[in-house]
Structure 1
Amino acid sequence: MRSTRTSAAPRRGRRTALAATGLVAALALTATACDGSADSASDKPEATTSQAADGGGKVQIPAELAGKLKEHGIDADRWKDGGWKDWDKDKWLSDAQDFVNPVIEGLWKPDRMQSAKEADKTVTTKDASAGQGVSDPAPAPVRAQAERTPYHRNAAPVGKVFFDSPDGPAVCSGTVVKDVDHPGKSNLVWTAGHCVHAGGSGGWYRNITFVPAYNDYGESEAELTNANPTEIAPYGNWWADWASTSNQWIQGGSETGGEGAAYDYAVLHVKPERGSKSLEETVGAALDVDFSAPSAAEARKMGAWGYPAAPPYNGLKMFKCVDIPGRFSLSPALPTMHRIGCTMTGGSSGGGWFRVRNGKSVLVSNTSIGPADNSWLAGPQLGRDAETLYQNMSKTYGGR
């Protein structure tokens, strides 16, 4: 039964500048319980809240986006009034340069977020055995552990990616990453390609939004009934005004990952639904990306973070798995992927994988595919192709 409690006033006060210390501690001390002082209200960052436009509100779409929609035969006024729900395959924007994601303020309300379904890529037994002779033995399952709350203190860069697909609202995970061309003011989010684009059979998803530190205090569904927006989205909603994924994913991605799985990564450039500060300034944390594609021996341990939404999870809480990585390949012709034991399910897709390098956590992969029994996860190695995608995003859109 859902609770009907009245939510507490939003926790506000002094913002803390974080260096993702929780992630470093979790990776470096995974076998050791970490002590920590109790959270106080003064440690809660100021929230950037969003409010729904009222029934008579007029949602404005910038002229350049309206023009881009018009190029594809889509009326901007109809789009904002619900036309985005029309998934006519002849008008499904597919190519890399076709991305359009105008802000529809108030669309992603707490209830709509909770209704979003997991976006997962499950490989079949046949798929999983395709790389025999290339892949290392399947790892033993690692039970996912709940991240400590509040998330803004222990895993500030991690959040949820919401989007609309032909099947309705969907959800993935994502990570705030640094922008090399705009230090300290990044608006970049790393996630999976299949969280922004349907792959070879479709096109770009719509209404893509990032919510860092979603459900900051890990409250239950009952506790979130009538919750204040700051409890759901302590830093507000951040809309993707541009997204980039690999051509390999756009052309070869499929329901089971397909030939695009080894290139299943994406970078979002986001802007706040309300407010003017950058994402990094608002959250107080962002991670470097490691494009060295380290071997298992070099990496030693990797940790995957995300919000699993398929049973036995419900997408409301953040979890993590830490394991020694192995190699996984769907085909000898494709790059080898990283694989770790992990029981996280769909919804964790796109969530960052981290390793400790020179004493700090860096993003080294993202969750892409896993088996039907949810015993392991695999993610792409981030090498030269991924770095080029990232650099182009930083140079071309980072300053917006």
Structure 2
Amino acid sequence: MRSTRTPASPRRGRRRTLLAVGGLVAALALTATACGGSGEDTAGGEPGATASQAGGNADGGVRIPSDIADQLKEHGIDVDDWKDGGWQDWDKDKWLSEAKDFVNPVIEGLWKPERMQSAKEADKTVSTKDASAGQGVSDPEPAPVEATAEKTPYHQNAAPVGKVFFDSPEGPSVCSGTVIKDVNHPGKSNLVWTAGHCVHAGQSGGWYRNIVFVPAYNDLGKSEAELGSANATEIAPYGNWWADWASTSNGWIEGGSQTGGAGAAYDYSVLHVQPEQGAKSLEETVGAALDVDFSAPSAAEAREMGAWGYPAASPYNGLKMFKCIDEPGRFSLSPSLPTMYRIGCTMTGGSSGGGWFRVVDGETKLVSNTSIGPADNTWLAGPQLGRDAQSLYENMSETYGGR
């Protein structure tokens, strides 16, 4: 899930990359507060966006708005049965694609540390045939860039980055995500950016379930053995945040596939989340959020991009945060589809949905997210975020941001 472009001059290209690392890391770190976290305090695409709603919690239980409860009943879903395990029923006749069928009531305590560690990566491995379809538009493959581990504690060095956990028919799964600003609710955002394939199966199915965002997961970067004795604050320093609203593009819903497919160029999503416990907003709790750059700059204009995430497939295990910095190139799956960005990076599945950042006038902004990559894990590709992605974001902010 990455790409590689050999610079005209290896020495010059390497120096530019190192300089970019310093700039991106410094800017990203500056968005975070210096204090520690506490779990106690805690649809534009092609040709339009789709948003969905879900339930909430109250006093440790499940609180379902009346209109959502009616939807559940309409589809033969009992709220109490859902909470008690009915969500595990993946009857294909009921696993529908329409936004109204997204159901995500809080099930407090479901995502225990052990269950989080068992989650498998939700990667999209592009086929050689698909990768070659855009020849003549795509730039040459970039040279692989070895992913480097983010400094710990994560809440001080990359506070907006976290993991997205969800249940699919295959079992517990994991992606990466980023806390983003909410233009209509400054300083109090509850929005998270990730990939469309981390919330919806695309043309082969419907919405995933039990979607949770955990910012700064495994804050100290502990090993699997060390996590056995870690406390809850070390594993989830800001607690678990359940998606009560979700949106992705119609382009992903209608064209997304196991290899990304025609939906890859529209493979992005915005979540509106709420804390499993606590009342403060996500941005207030984490102390950080990033603006999204919807200008869709060309690869040449962007110059350098950095991808952050939690790779989970071998040789990684999903417990630690990594990053790659590279000069982006163009990647095309078809002349009829929008061009994507591609960078060299050895991160594997699990990094899907993780934000791609660039520095604009000294400020780090999210400019894309990890979508697809090849089986040999030498590069990553992500969608350009233009007018359609901005419409999806604005709809989420205006319609659901204040809820």
TM-score, normalised via structure 1 length: 0.88
Residue in 2 that maps onto 1:141: 144
Q: What amino acid is aligned across from residue 390 of structure 1 in structure 2?
A: Y
2:64 is matched with which residue?
62
Q: Match of 2:209?
A: 206
Verify the 8 A CA contact 2:41 2:280 in the aligned structure 1: no
- Measured in 2, the distance between the counterparts of 1:306 and 1:32 equals 18
Residue 311 (structure 2) aligned to one of 308, 313, 316: 308
Secondary structure of 2:93 counterpart: helix
Give the corresponding residue for 1:196.
199
2-side partners of 1:67 and 1:48: how far apart? 32
Residues 335-369 of structure 1 show CA distances to partners (whole Å, capped at 9, x for unaligned) of: 00000000000000000000000101000000000
User: Quick one: which of 87, 96, 100 aligns to 2:99?
Assistant: 96
Listed one character per residue, the Cα deviations across residues 194-250 of structure 1 (whole Å, up to 9, x for unaligned) are: 000000000000000000000000000011003110010000000000000000101
Q: Distance in 2 between matches of 1:104 and 1:355?
A: 36
Cα distance in structure 1, aligned partners of 2:368 and 2:244: 23
Determine the C-alpha separation between the residues in 2 that align with 1:33 and 1:87: 42
Once residues 63 and 267 of structure 1 are traced to their aligned partners in structure 2, the CA distance between those partners, rounded to angstroms, is: 21
Residue 249 of structure 2 contacts residue 267 of structure 2 at CA under 8 Å; is this kept in 1?
A: yes
Please tell me whether the aligned partners of residues 311 and 317 of structure 2 are also in contact (alpha carbons under 8 angstroms): yes
The residue matched to 2:135 in structure 1 has which SS? coil
2:286 corresponds to 1:283: yes
Shift of 1:60: 2.4
Amino acid at match of 1:228: N
Please show how residues 195-234 of structure 1 align to structure 2 within 5 Å: 195-234=198-237
Q: CA deviation at 1:71?
A: 1.8
Change (3 A) 1:277 1:348: same
In structure 1, the partner of 2:77 is 74
Identity of aligned residues (%): 79
Aligned partner of 1:242 in structure 2 is 245
Distance of aligned partners of 1:91 and 1:61 in 2 relative to their CA distance in 1, 3 Å threshold: farther
1:377 is aligned to 2:380 = yes
Report the equivalent of 2:21: 30
The 1:33/1:79 distance shift into structure 2, 3 A limit, reads: closer
**Alpha-carbon distance, 1:398 to partner:** 0.2
How far has the Cα of 1:29 moved from its partner? 4.7
Displacement of 1:44 after TM fit?
4.0
Given that residues 41 and 238 in structure 2 are in contact (C-alpha distance below 8 angstroms), is that contact kept between their aligned partners in structure 1? no
User: What's the secondary structure of 2:397's corresponding residue?
Assistant: helix
* Residue equivalent to 2:359: 356
Note if contact 1:61-1:76 (Cα within 8 Å) is conserved in structure 2. no
Q: Does 1:126 align with 2:129?
A: yes
Corresponding position: 1:269 with 2:272: yes
Q: For residues 398 and 342 of structure 2, what CA distance do their matches in structure 1 show?
A: 31
- The answer to whether the 8 A contact 1:27-1:356 is kept is no
CA distance in 1, matches of 2:328, 2:292: 18
CA distance in 2, matches of 1:328, 1:34: 25
The size of the alignment, in residue pairs, is: 364
Distance 1:398 1:328 in 2: 33
- Residues 25 and 157 of structure 2 are in contact (CA less than 8 Å); yes or no, is this contact kept in structure 1? no
**SS state at 1:126 partner:** helix
Instruction: Summarize the Cα distance change of 1:168–1:296 in structure 2 as closer, same or farther, 3 Å threshold.
Output: same
- Contact 1:93-1:204 within 8 A present in 2 as well: yes
C-alpha separation between the residues in 2 aligned to 1:154 and 1:46? 13
Question: What is the alpha-carbon distance in structure 1 between the residues aligned to residue 19 and residue 82 of structure 2?
Answer: 48
Confirm whether residue 183 of structure 1 aligns to residue 174 of structure 2.
Answer: no
Runs of 4+ aligned residues of structure 1 deviating over 6 Å after TM superposition are 31-35
Structure 2 partner of 1:48: 39
Pairwise CA RMSD:
2.0
Change (3 A) 1:384 1:257: same
Cα pair 2:24 2:364 within 8 Å, conserved: no
Deviations 1:113-142 (A, max 9, x none): 000000000011111111101100010000
